[in-house]
């Protein structure tokens, strides 16, 4: 028996992408009314959720070894007459639900990304050891409908508008684990955005695996226009985008809508046309470069970010060099780069010419040296400029505040008076690879 008056402890471990970070926050919120408060320690938790990611290599094995560690806590707690419900959520749950239940009896519940709104019920059932233990097949619409509006942590928030993917890049598990592309209805998105604005959120990042493929009763550009009209919302970002969904209207909006931040995360994956074709990316290098030059023509200062995979099956040194050349030509303000990891069930896993681990490591090393240099250069280029910074909290040192630049840089600056949510001018005086710093600019009196 659980007593509703006793606070229960919830431990959530999040692996992988922003979508999972967002989902973990939603799970936390949906469980809060049941009396669950977050704890940082798994050993004294009544409920543990591992929100898993299937994209990276050995993800599944990591989950099993974590379950092994949790089982020891669970047994100790059982000896003390206390319970521990172990729940596996996220993409590994979706892809391998039955297998997890078979291989790891310590797991009480496996729940796929479409069923998080059912968590309270499922957890109650698991605690009573009755009913179904597997629930991974609810529709995306139900999920969006049933989750409460997220309580914002502060002045920035994620807003999920689209899920799933129909692109089927040959290396990727998302189309299998997250299912078909689905857009949340426009009215729901706008209602949530207004509610976030009312709670003090100033910057919204729209989320989706293919966010710019949004079609929830309006085009993505129309949605951005509607969001920009909401009082209180000062800054809008979106991720992750696919190059083939960068419409002329969307590109043009980057030149005309001041609330749309000068930052774009646009994965390119490779600079080689042959590899892009084998990846089923549906675009080539020239197409990507064309988007970038059109964006820069109307928004010269735009900060670009990307995802790149090295060592895709069959990638030669020359083809890797094409990726390096694309990076040299485009220049990125930040980037995520990965060694290709074979995901069972995806077409690329069965391709001939898998690249050796050694070659992948060498290529990643070379690529990252270039990307890190570009990131440092982008940050250094801000020194001497005065940037509008959204204040998000106190800085590390006394007398310092922390915030975000329009280019998604982390900014530390000297000031004591700015409040969270203010947008203040900061004169940038120094930079590192990962952040910039400066001082609050004071308006000179004439
Ligand atoms: N191997 C390596 N990187 C991958 N990604 C997705 N699947 C794989 C894989 N099998 C990377 C892509 C994607 C990012 C989220 O993760 O670059 O854009
Ligand atoms: Fe995966 Fe490609 Fe879809 Fe992105 S666009 S989620 S990489 S299949």
Average pLDDT over residues 289-305: 98
Contact 221, 31 (CB under 8 A): no
Is residue 24 predicted with pLDDT exceeding 50?
yes
Is residue 306 predicted with pLDDT exceeding 50?
yes
Nearest alpha carbon to residue 46 among 21, 20, 70, 16: 70
Give the whole-angstrom CA distance, residue 372 versus residue 440: 27
Is residue 383 predicted with pLDDT exceeding 90?
yes
Q: Is the C-beta atom of 175 inside 6 A of ligand 2?
A: yes
395 CA distance to ligand 2 middle (Å):
36
Task: Write out the DSSP string of 220-288.
Answer: HHHHHHHHHTSTT--EEEEE---GGG--HHHHHHHHH-TTB-SEEE---B-S-HHHHHHTT-S--HHHH
Give the whole-angstrom CA distance, residue 159 versus residue 204: 7
In the chain, % of residues over pLDDT 70: 90
Is residue 350 predicted with pLDDT exceeding 90?
no
Q: Give pLDDT tens digits for 106-157.
A: 998 888 887 787 777 777 667 655 333 334 444 555 556 555 544 455 899 9
User: Which atom of ligand 1 is least distant from the CA of 173?
Assistant: 7
Backbone angles phi, psi at 88, to 5 degrees: -105, 120
Q: Give pLDDT tens digits for 28-57.
A: 887 776 778 899 888 889 899 999 887 766
27 CA distance to ligand 2 middle (Å):
24
Q: Is the C-beta atom of 309 inside 6 A of ligand 1?
A: yes
Is residue 198 predicted with pLDDT exceeding 90?
yes
Look at the alpha carbons of 92, 93, 95, 97 in this order and tell me if their dihedral is positive or negative. Answer: positive
**What stretch of H or E contains 426?**
strand 423-431
Give the whole-angstrom CA distance, residue 419 versus residue 442: 16
What are the Cα distances from residue 133, in Å, to 97, 267, 376? 10, 37, 49
Give the whole-angstrom CA distance, residue 166 versus residue 163: 10
Rounded to the nearest integer, the mean pLDDT of the chain is 88
More confident residue, 141 or 22: 22
pLDDT confidence tier of residue 275, bands split at 50, 70 and 90? very high
Say what the pLDDT of residue 247 is: 97
125 CA distance to ligand 2 middle (Å):
35
In the chain, % of residues over pLDDT 90: 61
> Cβ neighbours of residue 376 under 8 Å, at least 6 residues apart?
431, 432, 433
Nearest alpha carbon to residue 403 among 234, 150, 192: 234
Is residue 445 predicted with pLDDT exceeding 60?
no
Is residue 442 predicted with pLDDT exceeding 90?
no
Contact 350, 342 (CB under 8 A): no
Look at the alpha carbons of 341, 342, 346, 348 in this order and tell me if their dihedral is positive or negative. Answer: positive
Average pLDDT over residues 406-413: 96
Q: Which of 95, 281, 309, 323 to mutate to test the pocket of ligand 1 (most atoms within 8 A of CB)?
A: 309
Say what the pLDDT of residue 163 is: 87
Say what the pLDDT of residue 138 is: 44
Is residue 180 predicted with pLDDT exceeding 90?
no
Average pLDDT over residues 348-366: 94
Q: Is the C-beta atom of 24 inside 6 A of ligand 1?
A: no
Average pLDDT over residues 99-104: 88
Q: Is the C-beta atom of 169 inside 6 A of ligand 2?
A: yes
Is residue 82 predicted with pLDDT exceeding 90?
no
Take atom 13 of ligand 1 and give the residue whose Cα is closest: 307
> Cβ neighbours of residue 307 under 8 Å, at least 6 residues apart?
240, 265, 267, 268, 269, 335, 336, 337, 338
Tell me the sheet residues that pair with 100: none
Say what the pLDDT of residue 135 is: 43
Q: Is the C-beta atom of 239 inside 6 A of ligand 2?
A: no
Q: Give pLDDT tens digits for 58-76.
A: 777 888 999 999 999 999 9
């Amino acid at each position: 028996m659980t007593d509703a008056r006793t606070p229960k402890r919830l431990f959530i471990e999040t692996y992988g992408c922003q979508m999972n970070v967002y989902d973990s926050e939603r799970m936390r919120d949906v469980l809060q009314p049941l009396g669950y408060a977050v704890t940082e320690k798994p050993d004294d938790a009544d409920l543990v959720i591992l929100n898993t990611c299937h994209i990276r290599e050995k993800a599944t094995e990591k989950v099993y070894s974590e379950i092994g560690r949790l089982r020891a806590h669970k047994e100790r707690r059982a000896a003390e007459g206390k319970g521990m419900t172990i729940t596996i959520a996220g993409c590994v749950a979706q892809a391998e639900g039955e297998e997890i239940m078979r291989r790891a009896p310590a797991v009480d519940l496996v729940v796929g990304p479409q069923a998080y709104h059912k968590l309270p019920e499922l957890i109650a059932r698991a605690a009573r050891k009755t009913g179904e233990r597997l629930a991974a097949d609810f529709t995306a619409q139900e999920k969006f409908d049933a989750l409460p509006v997220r309580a914002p942590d502060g002045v920035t928030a994620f807003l999920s508008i689209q899920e799933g993917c129909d692109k089927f890049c040959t290396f990727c598990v998302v189309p299998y684990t997250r299912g078909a592309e689905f857009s949340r209805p426009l009215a729901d998105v706008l209602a949530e955005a207004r509610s976030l604005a009312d709670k003090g959120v100033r910057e919204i990042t729209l989320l989706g695996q293919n966010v710019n493929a949004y079609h929830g009763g309006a085009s993505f550009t129309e949605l951005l226009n509607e969001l920009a009209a909401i009082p209180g919302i000062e800054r809008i970002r979106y991720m992750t985008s696919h190059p083939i969904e960068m419409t002329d209207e969307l590109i043009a909006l980057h030149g005309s809508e001041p609330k749309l931040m000068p930052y774009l995360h646009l994965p390119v994956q490779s600079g080689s046309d042959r590899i892009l074709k084998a990846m089923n990316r549906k675009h080539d290098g020239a197409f990507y470069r064309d988007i970038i030059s059109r964006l820069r023509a109307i928004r010269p200062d735009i900060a670009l970010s990307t995802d790149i995979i090295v060592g895709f099956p069959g990638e030669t040194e020359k083809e890797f060099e094409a990726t390096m050349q694309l990076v040299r030509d485009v220049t990125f303000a930040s980037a995520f780069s990965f060694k290709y990891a074979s995901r069972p069930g995806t077409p690329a896993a069965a391709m001939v010419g898998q690249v050796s681990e050694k070659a992948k490591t060498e290529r990643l090393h070379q690529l990252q040296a270039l990307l890190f240099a570009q990131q440092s250069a982008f940050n250094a280029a801000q020194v001497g400029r005065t940037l509008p910074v959204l204040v998000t909290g106190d800085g590390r040192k006394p007398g310092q505040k922390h915030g975000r630049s329009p280019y998604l840089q982390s900014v530390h600056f000297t000031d004591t008076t700015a409040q969270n949510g203010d947008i203040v001018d900061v004169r940038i005086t120094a930079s590192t690879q990962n952040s910039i710093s400066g001082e609050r600019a004071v308006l000179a009196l004439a």
